[in-house]
Amino acid sequence: MSNLEPHPEEMECEAGGSPDPQGRGGAAVEIITSRDVPLGGPRAMTVKRTLPQRKRSLIGAWCFVDHYGPDDVSVSGGMDVAPHPHTGLQTVSWLFEGNVTHHDSGDNHAVVRPGEVNLMTAGAGICHSEVSTQDTTVLHGVQLWTVLPDAVRESTGRRFDHHVPEPVEFPGGSALVFLGSLLGSSSPVSTFSPLLGAELRLDPGAELALDVDPAYEHGLLVDSGDVTLEGVVVEPTALAYTGVGEERLTVRNTGSTPARCILIGGEPFGEEIVMWWNFIGRTHDEIARYRDQWQAESERFGAVDGYIGHDPAGLTRLPAPTLPGTVLKPRVNPESKARTD
């Protein structure tokens, strides 16, 4: 998915969060609330973005978290993102409902379906399109990005991975582990830094105590239900953060309806990054060069075959926004500890 904001925000990161102080468990929890971002056009589909924000830019190498839906596509228009570029990252697409077609300049063509992870590696440069299918009536899911380490970001090539995880049953629910390892299940999809990604489903009243890697920091994004993490209430579309050093995290569905969450995690990403629009680099000049190369239709990004948008008169390629008049600065993340004040 593209960041379609016409004026992508440059953010200086600082600590934040305001968890419910009642009923706290063993781990400190920082709450990151979402902000609305329209995905372009008069019938724009609105997404709820929790990363990046001033409160926190990264959880492990996870640098971008969008939640969308459930959207009636007859009202929202669905997803129609014309070919657009990426550098220095991997996109992780995960759907709950609906289908999306994917075409990229690595000649990868796929349909993203619920419960099937699709991971696209940009490396030095790629472009792709994303369009909800004609038979999709409701669109619902998350779009995630991870940062590629500097040592490999120019050499990974245009890669595409697909995996259908088997459900892991536990008392009161189930999980789908699409990256990394959890609850005895491991994803075969390789990443370039230690990462975890899983969908958790909890029945009404269910409690799940998760053994987690203490070297990881974690984020719990709530899609639906009355959920607490370590006794702290996490509202739908909010992201609850816990820092390194925790060996167990307890998630509970306190409501009378099923709950669904996305758990992400990873070892803290120690590199400074510059992130603007759909590019991740290390300096302002590098980002400016990527923008110029995209506008010039450089081979760095290639071209997409197969894109058919919903509007025959619509854009066939997204133009890059104008760079801000100031120098883009690296994102400095707060320390890997939850801030509760």
If you average pLDDT over residues 50-55, what whole number do you get? 92
List Cβ neighbours of 9 (8 Å cut-off, separation of 6 or more): none
How far is residue 79's CA from residue 314's CA, in Å, rounded to a whole number? 13
CA geometry: angle 175, 176, 182, nearest 5 deg: 75
3-state DSSP call for residue 191? coil
- Is 41 inside a domain boundary? yes
* Res. 1: pLDDT tops 60: no
Q: What is the mean pLDDT of the chain?
A: 92
* Res. 6: pLDDT tops 70: no
Question: Tens digits of per-residue pLDDT, 303-319?
Answer: 999 999 998 999 999 99
Question: Tens digits of per-residue pLDDT, 18-30?
Answer: 333 334 568 999 9
- Is 324 inside a domain boundary? no
Question: Tens digits of per-residue pLDDT, 206-234?
Answer: 999 999 999 999 999 999 999 999 999 99
Q: Domain holding 64: CATH number?
A: 2.60.120.10
Query: Nearest-CA neighbor of 151 among 192, 187, 115, 186?
Result: 192
Cis amide leading into 114 (omega within 30)? no
- Is 199 inside a domain boundary? yes
Residue 74 has which token pair?
């007859």
Question: Tens digits of per-residue pLDDT, 87-135?
Answer: 999 999 999 999 999 999 999 999 999 999 999 999 899 999 999 999 9
Question: What 8-state DSSP symbol labels residue 316?
Answer: S
Sorting pLDDT into bands at 50, 70 and 90, what band is 331? confident
Type of residue found at 200: L
3-state secondary structure 209-234: EEECCCCCEEEEEEEECCEEECCEEE
- Is 22 inside a domain boundary? no
* Res. 77: pLDDT tops 70: yes
- Is 217 inside a domain boundary? yes
How far is residue 275's CA from residue 158's CA, in Å, rounded to a whole number? 20
- Residue 243 confidence (pLDDT): 98
Residue 204 vs residues 136, 241, 262: alpha-carbon distances, Å: 28, 23, 17
- Is 307 inside a domain boundary? no
- How many domains, the chain? 1
* Res. 17: pLDDT tops 50: no
CA geometry: angle 303, 307, 311, nearest 5 deg: 130
Sorting pLDDT into bands at 50, 70 and 90, what band is 12? very low
If you average pLDDT over residues 125-148, what whole number do you get? 97
How far is residue 259's CA from residue 251's CA, in Å, rounded to a whole number? 10
**C-beta separation of 228 from 196 below 8 A:** no
3-state DSSP call for residue 179? strand
| φ and ψ of 162, to 5 deg | -135, 135
How far is residue 119's CA from residue 216's CA, in Å, rounded to a whole number? 21
Range of the domain at 119: 30-269
Residue 26 has which token pair?
């063993």
* Total-model pTM: 0.92
- Side-chain-side CA neighbours of residue 101 (13 Å): 18
Type of residue found at 184: G
- Is 291 inside a domain boundary? no
* Pairing between β-strand 259-266 and β-strand 46-51 as defined by DSSP bridges: unpaired
Segment (H or E) for 287: helix 284-295
- Is 323 inside a domain boundary? no
3-state secondary structure 102-123: EEECCCCEEEECECCEEEEECC
| φ and ψ of 151, to 5 deg | -65, -20
The rounded radius of gyration (Å) of the Cα atoms in the chain is: 19
